[in-house]
Chains A and B, each alone.
Chain A
Amino acid sequence: MNPYGIALTLVVFYAFSELHRRKRAFYTNPVLLSITAIAALLWAGGYSYESYMESAVILKFLLGPAVVSLAVPVYKGRETIKAYAREITAGIVIGGTVAILSAFYTAKLFGGAEEVLLSMTPKSVTTAIAIGVSEKIGGIPALTAVLVVLTGILGNAVGVELLNVAGIKDRIARGLAMGVTSHGLGTARIILDDELAGAVSGLAMALNGVFTSLLLPYLIEVLK
């Protein structure tokens, strides 16, 4: 195993995280900038993805335990979940299903290829879970990873403004919409405005991940 892939990832990600810490803006998203920079470096140097992944794969492997760890914030939020059980259930079942169906059918309407449609369906779910789901349903995990990050960036950039324009004032509704639609990056944005909405958003992100991973493999058989 070579040390280059993992070293490159850590150095690049650290540099962009520092940039993001200094200039907090949606366009300094360290994940998207790191993916773009590393992809450009590999392309310019004529290196293959396989040679990069020979050691960077360790980081990808850690997504598994990271998803397992999401049980802790859900457990700590159990009182909030109980207090808003009805809203959270409705928001996740309806929002989570709408996210899948709207992605699938709009992409199909625009003439998307089947593997593209499949890769799009988990795009509102937190990346760690989305990559696993994409693999399971025959999508392209790399495309899913990029689409999830872009969805998160959209939510981070314009989600709160859109909710304002649409006249959504209810804090629980705002939190659920952000968490269900744009996972961690949406949560990171709304928590700056409102702590309660942020907490609900974080729980919605985790629960929607579970809901989507349970529903999607079966739903996809019907959609295909």
Chain B
Amino acid sequence: MKPYRGLAIIFGFYALGEFTSSALDLPIPGSVLGMLYLLAALLGGAVKLDWVENEAELFVRNMSIMFVPPGVGIITYIGLLKSQAVPVFGALIISFLITLLVTAKTVELLRGERK
């Protein structure tokens, strides 16, 4: 059964990533390590793209619903959010503007220099 192969690879690499993260007590999430392992396996040819492509795309395309349950957790921090509204929303908007413009300008300068 083909989907099981893809799911086995994805969940297997996730487990391996979590294992590395906790065994070595790393501050990096196990899921990110699992992603790096899967990328290395694809680049090295140990895993063929065709084995995982459909299952991985199913996960990536449907990621947004998975943010809802952790986001609802905000109700347990309503008090904090009210008292911290200015730092939270002020920093959100200013940091957004700075990041967008600095990144765009940096890359544009780099590109201009090459031409």
Chain A residues with a Cβ under 8 A of chain B? 5, 9-10, 12-13, 30-32, 34-35, 38-39, 42-43, 49, 52-53, 56-57, 59-60, 62-76, 78, 86-87, 90-91, 94-95, 98-99, 102-103, 106-113, 115-116, 120, 123-124, 126-129, 131-133, 135-137, 140-143, 145-151, 154-155, 159, 162-163, 166, 168-170, 172-174, 176-178, 180-182, 184, 209-210, 213-214, 217-218
Contacts and interface: CB of A to CB of B under 8 A. Distances in A.
A154 B68 contact: no
9 contacts: A9-B68, A63-B66, A67-B29, A67-B32, A94-B102, A108-B87, A132-B30, A136-B28, A168-B105
A35 B80 contact: no
Q: Which 3 A-B pairs have the closest CB atoms?
A: A142-B73, A132-B29, A217-B27
B14 A136 contact: no
B39 A181 contact: no
A107 B31 contact: no
Q: Is chain B's interface secondary structure helix, strand, loop, or mixed overall?
A: helix
A60 B66 CA distance: 5
Contacts of B84: 112-113, 116
Contacts of B66: 59-60, 62-63, 66, 128
Nearest to A13: B65
Interface residues on B, range: 35 or more
Nearest to B12: A68
A62 B28 CA distance: 18
Contacts of B71: 31-32, 34-35, 142, 145-146, 149
Given A5-B69, A137-B27, A163-B104, A68 B87 contact: no
A155 to B, nearest CB: 7
Nearest to B90: A110
Contacts of A52: 69, 72
Contacts of B95: 99, 102-103, 106, 120, 123-124
Given A141-B70, A154-B96, A59 B65 contact: yes
